Amino acid sequence: MKKTITALFLFVSGFIFAQQIEEFKITEEWLAKIEQMAPSETTVKNVSKKKILVFSKATGFDHWTIPHNAEMLKILGKKSNAFEVHIGYDIESFDKKNLKKYDAVVFNNCNPSGPKRDLFWDLLQKNTNLPDEEITALSKQYETNLLDYVAKGGGLMILHGAITVQNNSKEFSKMTGGSFDYHPKQQEMHVKEVDTNHPLVQAFKGNGLTHVDEPYFFNNAYFDYNFRPLLYIEIDKLEGMRKEVDEKVNYVSWIKRHGKGRVFYSSPSHNAQSLDHPELLQFFLDGLQYVVGDLKCDDSPIGK
């Protein structure tokens, strides 16, 4: 009986998921809807157009919203006339010379596979004939390239699952503000602003955001709180927790400095339905302005 119920649940869940994807296919109508909802101008005006690399290749879990996010970011850049957006899929994107072409990099749900959780290793292993020892050395070089790029003033915006790009690297975790630990089931949640007066959350107008997403939990550098949190969820409102925690809130978006560069992380970005919220589109546009250095705000770490 249990097996029958489990099979039925999986069938129904799969059917609902397929319906969602069908409903949110990238059509001319969907693109027009996002363009209509997207902000027509940036919060900080009269700034030079910035060049953005949106890296969108996953080797692990393939979030179905990756192409939606790519199109959304292109629309934000074009409509605001503030960003020239380029979509990248190849490991060569992280060559030093190539990174220098861009004012910021966006990691668009580019999850690596496990257990290595090393996107650069995965891309090299899948697309070259190099022996493993050379792949390991080269993947470390690409990680170093990215760390140096941000430390020297480049911007980095991370969407949802892309926090795992180098999930086992302590250096990467320190730069991003944390590593992925686990998530309970997808569920409706009310994401709230940590400080309603902070410039980067003005899009929500003090109302937060109610949507369906995966509530991410983090480890490694997260518990150093070396970031300025923007959004949080109340832990006691969540279902399906795997671990008991002492904290009452879980931060799901933050900003931070890394050397001369800036990092913006947003866990909200799992489902294309979330993009139906104009306030989230404004939030992402403001995040882009932050990482390229146009939107100045308090990004000091809150500390332990």
Angstrom distance (rounded) from CA 304 to CA 124: 38
Q: Number of helices (H) and strands (E), helices first, in the chain?
A: 8, 11
Of 159, 167, 264, the residue nearest 213 (C-alpha): 159
- Phi, psi angle pair for 156, to nearest 5°: -140, 120
Angstrom distance (rounded) from CA 230 to CA 193: 6
Burial 26-61 (b: 16+ CB within 10 A, else e): eeeebeeebbebbbeebbbeeeeebebbbbbbbbbe
The answer for residues whose C-beta is within 8 angstroms of residue 69's C-beta and 6 or more apart is 54, 56, 108, 109, 159, 269, 275
Note whether 142 and 134 are within 8 A (CB). no
Write down the pLDDT at residue 15: 46
Mean pLDDT in runs of 10 for the chain (304 residues)? 47 48 82 96 97 95 89 98 98 97 97 93 96 97 98 97 95 97 93 98 97 92 97 94 88 98 92 91 98 98 92
The number of residues in the chain equals 304
Write down the pLDDT at residue 67: 95
Angstrom distance (rounded) from CA 107 to CA 157: 6
Write down the pLDDT at residue 84: 98
Write down the pLDDT at residue 12: 42
Note whether 110 and 119 are within 8 A (CB). yes
CATH architecture under which domain 29-291 falls = 3-Layer(aba) Sandwich (3.40)
